[in-house]
Structure 1
Amino acid sequence: MKNISAVRGGSGGVIEPKVGTRPQDNIYLAVNSEWLEKTDIPADRSRMAAFDMIDVNVEKHLMQDFADFAAGKKAVPAIANLDKAVNLYKLAKDFDKRNADGAQPIKADLTRLTELKDFSDYNLNAADLASFASIPFGLSVDPDMKNTKVNLLGFSGPGTYLPDTTTYETEDAPKLLAILQKQSVKLLEMAGIETEQAEQYAADAIKFDARLAKVVKSAEEWADYPACYNPMKIADFEAKFKDFKIKQYLVAVVGEEPDRINVEEPRYLDHINEIINEANFAEIKSWMIVNFINGAASDLSQDFREAAFPFSQALSGQPELSSGEKQAYHIANGAFSEVVGVYYGQTYFGAEAKKDVEDMIHRMLDVYEERLLANDWLSEATKQKAVGKLTALELKIGYPEKIEDIYNRLEVTPASQGGSLYSNDRAFAIAEQKYNMEQLHKEVDRTVWAMPANLVNACYDPQRNDLTFPAAILQAPFYDLKQDRATNFGGIGSVIAHEVSHAFDNNGAQFDKFGNMTNWWTDEDYAEFKKRTQAEIDLFDGLEYGPVKLNGKQIVSENIADQGGLTAAVEAAKNENDDLKKLFENFARIWANKQLVESIKSQTAVDVHAPGPDRANVQIQCQDDFYEVFGVKPTDGMWLDPAERVHIW
């Protein structure tokens, strides 16, 4: 196999454009070099990609709309809860008030943490503390993987300070943790903590984080979604805890002791007593305080925002902190994401475009069904099950017809009534946790959207067996009514089929048409599927992208989806006698990416997607039609021997 990473390079791993590159040698550079030369990464971002180009435009429109709403220049549309989002925006944008308040909004909660006396005090108050601070584990309610009509309580470990457990093994780790430690001390001093005490809190927090990093899951492990399903009887779960009063905590947070709980991180549960115990109390307390001050800083003054930026900057390379006005929009959008998404969809997503996209989706589904039925390595029994799953897919296009009930519960308390940005954020978190816990005894709502309409993305949910295509992604270069069909097939067509392919990737293949984790394969077919999955892992494993090497296992599900998506798009275009040259070029175009080296390191540590250039080049290398369309020869850079080309869907 030719490692086309060889044509990459440049300062710090940023891919250098090379105008005049032939598509036969590197189609990604052939298509994107001019874009790479002319595109600048904004100072408040760490990368620019095709997705980001659209996001910048969406952000620009919505920021202007929110500014006009707040100033009274434009009436707030009669969309449920949009007025609340605007009120939160006003609160976030009022930096005169935020700056005058300083650390005052967090004083009471910070004092509650610093005055924790001992482990008994922590045990007694853990449930109450969890309403505003970090606890070394999490609880959430999600559909039961083996019976998706009902919900199940889940248990998982906390996140780590560095992007992934593997990051702790890199030479960058000590430097990054030192930046976080210094930042935390400064923030605590600004909040009124004496320097010596602040330094002790920061040092102990780093020590506790190191304990966590040894036992929580890595990104590669989290990528194995079905491995998260480990239900236990509640009595067996509670018996795992020796020092922490888990029964008391469950009753306080959940409102009961449920019969069962799903342990998403079994290894973490096995080590729980090494993590949460009396001897570790000082570290636990410090970890909670450091997490709290770093998390709350963004809700406070501009000085706090700036003081909390160095660690994020070190991880991303982002040169500048975003403006206060931009932060205000993102705070409102974050809290009321579905509401803002519905506004965006109704305002900017046309009915004609929706109709055309729906037509393309159905075309892609038809092509996928044809390909499944014509598949030469599946038995007839498995084919029929696969087609049954395909035809049962639910489609969510543009924006939802109804807004989820949680948004009706969120109330914004203005400054005139004593509200601060922090107090509202805190109240939202409590309301959201309560709402989530209430779902435990409710039937799973399959109408809920996984993404808001203004998010430039798309997704497949294996537990609902549905596809979501938010309005924001349905524009150029992915889709445009004015683009020819072949170009759209290379863009949104491949994205549509990519999401369909997730129903049949290494994770999705373990769920049936109802979203239940059930084996619907024959043993022989599944063995062959695993063999092909391993080939996809091997295809990407170890590829160099700037300063990093890719982990083929971590990114295999998305690579299977890319493979299936592009293959189906090519088939659809061939059925309509479209120009495959335009299709391949636009497929390369949608993965255009310009990224700072720090961002590359952080992103690849946790991302389940391959970097854009590899998504373009390596997947196209596996398309036999590419070689014919562009006349690729064995001496060309894009050549991949036929035996090494991966074909799954």
Structure 2
Amino acid sequence: MKDDFYAAVNKEWLDNSQIPAGEAYNSTLLQLDYENENRISDILNTLLQKDWPRGSKEQKLVDFYQSALDMDSRNEQGIEPVRKYLQAYEEADSLEQLIQTDININRETGNGQLLTYYLGQDLQDSSSYIMYHWALTPTWDKDFYTSPDKRDACMKYITRLLTLSGEDEATARSVAEQIFALEKELSENSLDPEEYYDVDKAYYVYTLEQLASLYPDFDLKKTITDTGYQLPDRVCIVDEGLLLKSAQYFNEDHLELLKDYATFKFIYACGFTLSREFIEARQEFNALVYGVEGEKSDQQRAVNAVKEYLPLYLGEIYVEKYFSEEAKQDVEEMVANFIEVYKQKISNLEWMSTETKQRALKKLDNINVKIGYPDKWSATLDNTDIKSYADGGSYFDNVCRINLAYINENIAKQGQPVDKSTWDMPVYEVNAYYDVQNNEIIFPAGILQEPFYSFTASPAENYGGIGMVIAHEITHAFDNTGARFDEMGNVNNWWTEDDNRNFEEKTKRVQEFYDGLEIVAGIESDGELTLFENIADLGAISCCLKVLSQYENPDYQAFFKSYAVIWRTTMKREMADYLSKVDVHSNSKIRVNRTVVNFAEFYEAFGINETDGMYVPPE
């Protein structure tokens, strides 16, 4: 305990942890995902026992599941479901025709690859939608374009997808080289992972004329209306460097490269719906870059497909069968307690001015809380026809129809106010999140189970589990990203100059405290990448300890042990290396050990002193 708290608490589990086939890691969260997967499998198997009226949610769940599971039909069809789209890309003989082809494919399948338009909340006015636009994008994270091993794996995968699509090996290899070179250049001009959370670097608003001037070789306005949207006055660009580089390729000189790029990206996006050869190609790639061994069963893949594509219908049944209203009420009470504690803590901050405190308290008062499931289930897919192979459908067709339903729903939002009652996370997800633009925290039903939460657990154990998650998400309202948004979810500098300077000094100390720590030999933590998640963890423990201190004889040992348990993880080295470059959360061991040492209650509970490995001298 005194030298490596995380390892000591989780020793038995870590010693016996086995990474499941088809995965690159094992964890508390993954085990709960698997338990939910079994529950969902039971739901689907029960539904399979009856005939359901066409158009009902049960019929759609059953037929979608069976279409994903029917590998015989998928193998028999092979590339056939997408052949006409690949041929259409190949036959385009001008830039204008290629762009129109891509728009037509997008209107049929929901999988356009060249020019994307989407309505999302405006960072400066969260009650309104603004059109977002992006064009060519790298398929993988930056490290994939600089690591020789990952480059080789990407080249092999691109080549394999192209040969499965009908190219001969030599041509596929040559085309893969060109696609990878293009994506490498795009990657070099794109934001780093942590920069996407910086509103100063990831929010550029263009007029429509300014945007159109980037594409002089075709009519940009026509592409917007042909996609189904009305012409907007303003368009938001998240990654300006990437877009500017991307726009340079939209000319006749790069026609063949754009055709090859669109073909690859289309197959990359749709291949999972086709024959086993495409699945095996992805598995081989995952083995090379993430260290994945073995593979998931066809049933697992089919269940996961239902989870991903029909979360609304599945979630409604899941909640009816597995969620407890008592749990919802219990968590609502915990949230209310935490918010009151945060109000006290903010009010007592010595370094923050009265003016900024008032704005912070106002933001707390306006936090919306969603627990368990939405008050109203979305009707997005009510008019979407899902068919089994026996009824003339296919897995590919079903996925496309679902994609199109969401695209059409997005198009219909133009000119409408934002509906902030919607959920963006399936109710069975083992997760939670804070939404800066809605100033709300969401706790799906899926996370309200052991070891995060239990009726039979002690208060200390529940606070170390679900309590930490709740307080963590509340803290996100005031981390280095959340602090840029006001109580309405709008980007707004509500800090005084002195308070902002003090805050930045404190966040810099957090960044340094979590930076350069060994994850495994040769792989270190990135304090800048993980900054806002580390702030949330520190704030959460501080808040939980305050609440726990109000109990008679608080069990701090149980609290800290519970916190260590929820983050226990084992993973392949390749995955650890990958996550160290892209994951905004600290590695589990660091997330536990480096966080708990900041609190006197931890030292007192376990008798930590200067000679122990967990000891960190106070600053």
| TM-score bracket for this pair, using the shorter chain length | over 0.9
Q: Deviations over 1:230-275 (max 9, x none)?
A: 2222112212222343222112114321011111112123324323
Task: Tell me the residue number matched to 2:574.
Answer: 598
SS of 2:549's partner is: helix
Q: 1:70 aligns with which of 33, 43, 48?
A: 48
Task: Tell me the residue number matched to 2:249.
Answer: 275
One-letter amino acid of the structure 2 residue matched with residue 574 of structure 1: S
Q: 1:609 aligns with which of 585, 604, 616?
A: 585
SS of 2:413's partner is: helix
Structure 2: gaps spanning 5 or more residues? none
- Are the aligned partners of 2:454 and 2:462 in contact in 1 as well (CA < 8 Å)? yes
Aligned residue runs from structure 1 range 445-456, under 5 A = 445-456=419-430
Aligned length: 615
Q: Distance in 1 between matches of 2:43 and 2:55?
A: 14
Task: Tell me the residue number matched to 1:8.
Answer: none
- Against the structure 1 CA distance between its residues 61 and 637, is the aligned structure 2 distance closer, same or farther, given a 3 Å change threshold? same
Task: Tell me the residue number matched to 1:101.
Answer: 77
SS of 1:601's partner is: helix
Task: Tell me the residue number matched to 2:502.
Answer: 528
Deviation at 1:195, TM superposition (A): 3.5
Task: Tell me the residue number matched to 2:532.
Answer: 557
Aligned residue runs from structure 1 range 498-517, under 5 A = 498-517=472-491
One-letter amino acid of the structure 1 residue matched with residue 124 of structure 2: K
Deviation at 1:211, TM superposition (A): 2.3
Q: Distance in 2 between matches of 1:346 and 1:99?
A: 36
SS of 1:625's partner is: helix
SS of 2:421's partner is: coil
1:584 has 2:575 as partner: no
1:366 has 2:344 as partner: no
Task: Tell me the residue number matched to 1:150.
Answer: 128
Q: Deviations over 1:342-384 (max 9, x none)?
A: 2212211112222212211211122111111112211111111
Q: Deviations over 1:174-198 (max 9, x none)?
A: 332233234224422xxx3344443
1:476 has 2:450 as partner: yes
One-letter amino acid of the structure 2 residue matched with residue 341 of structure 1: G
- Are the aligned partners of 1:398 and 1:453 in contact in 2 as well (CA < 8 Å)? yes
Deviation at 1:77, TM superposition (A): 12
- Are the aligned partners of 2:271 and 2:278 in contact in 1 as well (CA < 8 Å)? yes
Q: Deviations over 1:520-562 (max 9, x none)?
A: 1111111111111111111122222124222211111111111
Task: Tell me the residue number matched to 2:29.
Answer: 51
Aligned residue runs from structure 1 range 448-467, under 5 A = 448-467=422-441
- Are the aligned partners of 1:187 and 1:294 in contact in 2 as well (CA < 8 Å)? no
Task: Tell me the residue number matched to 2:91.
Answer: 115
Q: Deviations over 1:434-455 (max 9, x none)?
A: 2112212111001011211100
One-letter amino acid of the structure 1 residue matched with residue 561 of structure 2: E
- Against the structure 1 CA distance between its residues 595 and 573, is the aligned structure 2 distance closer, same or farther, given a 3 Å change threshold? same
Q: Distance in 2 between matches of 1:36 and 1:78?
A: 48
- Are the aligned partners of 2:103 and 2:112 in contact in 1 as well (CA < 8 Å)? no
Q: Deviations over 1:303-322 (max 9, x none)?
A: 33223321122232221221
Deviation at 1:45, TM superposition (A): 1.4
Task: Tell me the residue number matched to 1:636.
Answer: 612
Q: Which segment drifts farther, 472-481 or 249-258?
A: 249-258
TM-score for both structures, normalised by structure 2:
0.95
Q: Distance in 2 between matches of 1:153 and 1:30?
A: 51
Q: Deviations over 1:407-437 (max 9, x none)?
A: 2243213324421111121222222222112
Deviation at 1:203, TM superposition (A): 2.8
Aligned residue runs from structure 1 range 297-446, under 5 A = 297-446=271-420
Q: Which segment drifts farther, 386-395 or 286-295?
A: 286-295
Deviation at 1:79, TM superposition (A): 12
- Against the structure 1 CA distance between its residues 623 and 278, is the aligned structure 2 distance closer, same or farther, given a 3 Å change threshold? farther
Q: Distance in 1 between matches of 2:240 and 2:265?
A: 24
Task: Tell me the residue number matched to 1:172.
Answer: 149
Deviation at 1:610, TM superposition (A): 1.0
- Against the structure 1 CA distance between its residues 246 and 510, is the aligned structure 2 distance closer, same or farther, given a 3 Å change threshold? same
Q: Which segment drifts farther, 172-181 or 128-137?
A: 128-137
Deviation at 1:201, TM superposition (A): 3.1
Q: Distance in 2 between matches of 1:365 and 1:60?
A: 35
- Against the structure 1 CA distance between its residues 36 and 369, is the aligned structure 2 distance closer, same or farther, given a 3 Å change threshold? same
One-letter amino acid of the structure 1 residue matched with residue 43 of structure 2: D
- Are the aligned partners of 1:454 and 1:472 in contact in 2 as well (CA < 8 Å)? yes
Structure 1: gaps spanning 5 or more residues? 1-22, 644-649
